[in-house]
């Protein structure tokens, strides 16, 4: 069976989340990923909750990889990386703030050895501009990218996005950059460097709200697209909360939306509001998402409280709207998992040699002719050191010597 990246060797010096997530997907698509770690190992090995002593954060971001531990601060350690690079297709690093060049593994260093390599660098702020030497973590970058202003209440303590959206978005930007560069190399034979700045990735992710400020004729927070529209906690039902919009399935024109709106009010027993002048004035803006809708929250909820979230969503779908209950992790991912999570195959189970059966998130797409595969669990630190070194022609006594002088482990 053809694998998309079969035959491509990836030398991956990244740690923590964005880089490892990116190279994990390269591995899923068939690349041979060699994870080059420091003698202490990827920082993710040491943080987050553990299972039988193993960090699950590490397990969930490092399947389909081989691990070699190398001391990069020593010239002999760098030489190991240079030797690995000779047969590689991709090099990936996330040292941040110019750290790779200082360690002797910048693009210029690596290109000298393998001029056709696709070299990807992930950093907080990129390599030019006044913040280029700064490091920032998920929290700081969420704030700088304008995300934190969209959670919490004005004047109260800030609320961040609970998920690591900066890390994940940067991983997908890095992955697409690497894939595009590999495509180009497949066509022309030429490699290149792909630079990913996490903050710049987040500006791309914010295209909608940024464009909403371009130079608009009117500032309209009708629903869905108004950057400051309130939908934050949804509406309480008998068994939880929902978010919905009767207008959201647009494309059928304003008349169809109006019909859905009238139908919605009748179904929830609020038909008399159609005669209410305030409601008439606010009209469609009072349904579902948006500031005006939130003003209706108390009233809506009195009619939702004897209906389950499922009943509400079914009804909203019937009249041409859309919505969802606000699901928690236990309902979706606990036990045997929610049938929809099962249906999309988003979570896969695999065997880890120490941790036993573990659940991991899968590559989020499926290809009919070149399917991805989960072949091996996240490696132990230096698990493949000997095998990898033997693979690039190092003799046994040389490997022993490197181990003894603590260059590799």
Partner 1 sequence: MSGPLEGIKVLDAGAFTVGPAACSLLGLMGAQAIRIEPPTLDGLLFVGTIAGGTGTSYISSHYNKKSIMLDLRSPLGKEIGTKLVKWADVLVNNRRLGALDRIGFGYNDLAKMNPRIIYIESTSYGATGPWSKYAAADHFVQAASGFASVNGKEGGEAEILRYATNADYTATLIILNAAIAGLIARQKTGKGQRIDTSHLQGTIAVQTSRLAEFFISGKNPALMGSVSSRVAPSEAFRTQDNKYINISADREEYWHKICKALELENIQDDPRFSTNEKRLKNRKELVPLIQEKVGDKPAYWWMLHFDRCGVPYGFNYDYVDLIRDPHINENKWLYDMDSSYGMLKGYASPWEFSRTPSEEMTPTVKYDCDRDEILAMLE
Nearer to partner 1, 251 or 393 (CB): 251
Nearer to partner 1, 16 or 71 (CB): 16
User: What's the min distance (Å) between Cβ of 204 and partner 1?
Assistant: 4
47: Cβ contacts below 8 Å, ≥ 6 apart = 55, 57
User: What's the min distance (Å) between Cβ of 398 and partner 1?
Assistant: 33
User: What's the min distance (Å) between Cβ of 296 and partner 1?
Assistant: 17
Give bridge partners of residue 54 from the DSSP assignment. Answer: 51
62: Cβ contacts below 8 Å, ≥ 6 apart = 20, 24, 35, 42, 44, 378, 379
235: Cβ contacts below 8 Å, ≥ 6 apart = 241, 242, 243, 244, 297, 300, 301, 304
Nearer to partner 1, 143 or 283 (CB): 143
User: What's the min distance (Å) between Cβ of 20 and partner 1?
Assistant: 10
Nearer to partner 1, 150 or 303 (CB): 150
Pairwise CA distance, residues 200 & 57, whole Å: 25
Nearer to partner 1, 164 or 389 (CB): 164
Contact 309, 237 (CB under 8 A): yes
Please state the length of the chain. Answer: 409
Contact 73, 50 (CB under 8 A): no
User: What's the min distance (Å) between Cβ of 82 and partner 1?
Assistant: 20
User: What's the min distance (Å) between Cβ of 387 and partner 1?
Assistant: 27
Nearer to partner 1, 103 or 347 (CB): 347
32: left (phi over 0), alpha (psi -120 to 50) or beta: beta
CB-count exposure of residue 201 (10 Å: 0-12, 13-18, 19+): buried
């Amino acid at each position: 069976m053809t694998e998309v990246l079969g035959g491509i060797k990836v030398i991956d010096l990244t740690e923590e989340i964005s880089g490892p997530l990116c190279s994990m997907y390269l591995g899923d698509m068939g690349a041979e990923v060699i994870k080059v770690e420091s003698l202490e190992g990827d920082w993710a090995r040491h943080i987050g909750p553990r299972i039988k002593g193993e960090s699950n954060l590490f397990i969930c971001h490092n399947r389909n990889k081989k691990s070699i531990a190398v001391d990069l601060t020593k010239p002999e350690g760098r030489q190991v990386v240079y030797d690995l690079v000779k047969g590689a297709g991709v090099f990936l690093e996330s040292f941040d703030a110019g750290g790779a060049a200082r360690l002797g593994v910048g693009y210029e260093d690596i290109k000298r050895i393998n001029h056709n390599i696709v070299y990807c660098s992930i950093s907080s702020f990129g390599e030019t501009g006044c913040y280029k030497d700064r490091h920032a973590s998920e929290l700081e970058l969420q704030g700088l990218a304008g995300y934190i202003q969209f959670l919490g209440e004005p004047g109260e303590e800030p609320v961040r996005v609970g998920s690591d959206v900066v890390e994940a978005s940067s991983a997908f930007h890095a992955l697409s950059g690497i894939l595009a560069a590999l495509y180009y190399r497949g066509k022309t034979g030429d490699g290149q460097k792909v630079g990913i700045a996490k903050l710049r990735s987040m500006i791309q992710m914010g295209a909608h709200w940024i464009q909403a400020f371009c130079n608009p004729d009117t500032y309209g927070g009708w629903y869905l697209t108004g950057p400051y529209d309130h939908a934050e906690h949804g509406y309480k039902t008998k068994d939880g909360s929902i978010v919905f919009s009767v207008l959201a399935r647009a494309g059928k024109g304003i008349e169809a939306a109006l019909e859905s709106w009238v139908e919605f009010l009748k179904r929830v027993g609020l038909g008399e509001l159609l005669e209410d002048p305030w409601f008439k004035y606010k009209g469609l803006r009072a349904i579902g998402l948006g500031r005006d809708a939130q003003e209706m929250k108390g009233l809506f909820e009195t009619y939702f409280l004897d209906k389950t979230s499922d009943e509400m969503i079914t009804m909203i779908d019937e009249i041409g709207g859309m919505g969802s209950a606000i699901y928690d992790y236990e309902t979706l991912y606990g036990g045997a998992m929610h049938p929809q999570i099962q249906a999309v195959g988003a979570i896969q189970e695999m065997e880890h040699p120490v941790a036993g059966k573990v659940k991991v998130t899968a590559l989020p797409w499926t290809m009919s002719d070149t399917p991805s595969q989960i072949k091996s669990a996240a490696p132990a630190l230096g698990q493949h050191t000997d095998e990898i070194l033997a693979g690039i022609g190092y003799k046994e006594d040389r490997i022993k010597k490197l181990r003894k002088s603590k260059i590799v482990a």
